[in-house]
């Protein structure tokens, strides 16, 4: 099936200005939902609908395709339905591309579980439904204040039942929606036809509406992250290293002629040797222009690419050339120019002295710092897990 994800991300948000690109847990807010959609196996293509050039640039950097949104549906009065209709029609008109299902994912709900969209799609198909939404349980005795009347509306307070017997109400939480395109075309809505639902917890339902929500969300995302430990390196085929700050201590020495010198660790070299002897492919990818990068790589017998402006683009090309999936790649980095690569691969690793944003997206943080044994530590872990 051709299943697309559409992520609405306009630039003129009022409650939290520029919220879609505000940093949280090391990433712009919209990037969390882009990465989530990319990791959903059933989704064929991931689109961000925006009128904002900066948002579009960031979204492209994280691998999303852009649907340029007209200004007349990028204001406070525009409906989400109009955004989805435009996205579907844009693909029809520009590519003759007809999606079988449309997945709507708001950037403001980044606490979804990895399989939530897959569960939604599977249930929609299994029940032969036309649209599905995520709901969260809201159990309890509920009252409503409406047009001057205050009343209990899901139970009779004069005949109060036991709490465990209270009605189970559900609240629409804005996290995941899936629909057939005809619902948008014919019903002018994203819910219609045979409607069904799947359940998420209240924890997963947290949305960003106010500035302080970012602080709360950061705490919840930290709580949700797997706790420290050594991850599983057993399916790894390619190990990628940044150079400065990973294979060096991130310092540079200059002589009176302006010639640069760096210090590398011999034990890191031994680690690379063990990695190669065990049959692993390894490569250096660096933005550094100095030929010292190539010289060190040659000494270690490593493939090397440096003076790069687009590290992620090169990494994707290498993966395709080597017929390796991103889940089979380790990327070891330390600074912000490593973030896009680290967010793309299956196993991002930060050295001990990496910047916080890099540590935030990593699955493992070395005990040793860059240039002081961190590379050897990673090599030993990979070889040790797979050859013991």
Rounded Cα–Cα distance for residues 307 and 302 (Å) = 16
Does the reported pTM lie above 0.85? no
pLDDT value at residue 97: 97
Residue 73 has, within 13 A of its CA and on its CB side, a CA count of: 17
Greatest CA span in the chain, whole angstroms? Answer: 90
Over the range 50-67, which residues count as b (16 or more CB within 10 Å of their CB) and which as e? bbbeebbebbebbbbebb
106 within 8 A of 33, measured Cβ to Cβ: yes
The single-letter DSSP state of residue 266 is H
| Assigned token pair, 219 | 């705490």
Q: In Å, how far are 57, 144, 162, 275 from 90, measured between CA atoms?
A: 19, 42, 53, 48
Rounded Cα–Cα distance for residues 321 and 208 (Å) = 40
Rounded Cα–Cα distance for residues 198 and 121 (Å) = 10
349 within 8 A of 363, measured Cβ to Cβ: yes
The single-letter DSSP state of residue 248 is B
Residues of the chain with pLDDT under 70: 224-229, 386-388
Please tell me whether residue 289 adopts helix, strand or coil conformation.
Answer: coil
Show the 3-state SS of 39-56: CCCCCCEEEEEECCHHHH
| Assigned token pair, 218 | 């950061």
Rounded Cα–Cα distance for residues 275 and 146 (Å) = 68
| Assigned token pair, 356 | 């916080």
C-alpha torsion angle, residues 295, 296, 298, 304 (rounded to 10):
-90
Close Cβ partners of 284 (under 8 Å, ≥ 6 residues apart): 240, 241, 242, 243, 247, 293, 296, 297, 302, 303, 304, 305, 306
Positive or negative, the CA dihedral 131, 221, 360, 276 is negative
List the domains of the chain with CATH numbers.
Answer: 3-224 (3.90.550.10), 238-387 (3.40.50.1000)
Residue tagged 């002897």 (tokens)? 277
Decide the pairing of beta strands 364-365 and 347-350: parallel
| Assigned token pair, 338 | 């490593």
Please tell me whether residue 196 adopts helix, strand or coil conformation.
Answer: strand
């Amino acid at each position: 099936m051709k299943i697309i994800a559409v992520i609405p991300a306009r630039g003129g948000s009022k409650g939290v200005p520029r919220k879609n690109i505000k940093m949280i847990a090391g990433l712009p807010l919209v990037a969390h939902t882009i990465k989530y959609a990319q990791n959903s196996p059933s989704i064929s293509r991931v689109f961000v609908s925006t009128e904002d050039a900066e948002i579009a640039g960031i979204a492209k950097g994280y691998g999303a395709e852009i649907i340029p949104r007209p200004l007349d549906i990028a204001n406070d009065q525009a409906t989400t339905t109009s955004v989805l209709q435009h996205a579907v029609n844009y693909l029809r008109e520009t590519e003759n591309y007809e999606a079988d299902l449309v997945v709507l994912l708001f950037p403001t709900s980044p606490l979804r579980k990895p399989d939530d969209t897959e569960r939604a799609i599977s249930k929609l198909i299994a029940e032969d439904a036309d649209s599905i939404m995520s709901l969260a349980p809201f159990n309890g005795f509920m009252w409503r204040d409406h047009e001057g009347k205050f009343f209990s509306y899901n139970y009779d307070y004069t005949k109060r039942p036991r709490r465990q017997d209270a009605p189970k109400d559900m609240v629409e939480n804005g996290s995941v929606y899936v629909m057939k395109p005809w619902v948008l075309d014919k019903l002018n809505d994203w819910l219609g036809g045979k409607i069904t639902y799947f359940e998420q917890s209240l924890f997963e339902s947290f949305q960003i509406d106010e500035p302080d929500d970012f602080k709360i969300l950061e705490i919840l995302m930290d709580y949700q992250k797997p706790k420290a430990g050594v991850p599983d390196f057993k399916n790894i085929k390619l190990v990628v290293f940044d150079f400065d700050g990973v294979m060096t201590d991130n310092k540079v020495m200059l002589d009176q002629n302006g010639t640069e010198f760096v210090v590398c660790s011999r034990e890191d070299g031994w680690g690379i040797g063990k990695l190669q002897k065990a049959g692993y492919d390894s490569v250096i990818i660096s933005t550094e222009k100095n030929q010292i990068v190539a010289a060190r790589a040659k000494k270690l017998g490593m493939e090397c690419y440096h003076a790069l402006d687009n590290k992620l683009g090169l990494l994707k090309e290498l993966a395709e050339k080597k017929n390796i999936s991103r889940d089979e790649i380790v990327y070891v980095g330390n600074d912000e120019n490593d973030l896009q690569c680290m967010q793309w691969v299956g196993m991002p690793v930060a050295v001990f002295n990496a910047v916080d944003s890099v540590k935030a997206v990593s699955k493992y943080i070395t005990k040793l710092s860059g240039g002081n044994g961190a590379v050897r530590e990673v090599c030993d872990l990979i070889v040790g897990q797979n050859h013991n």
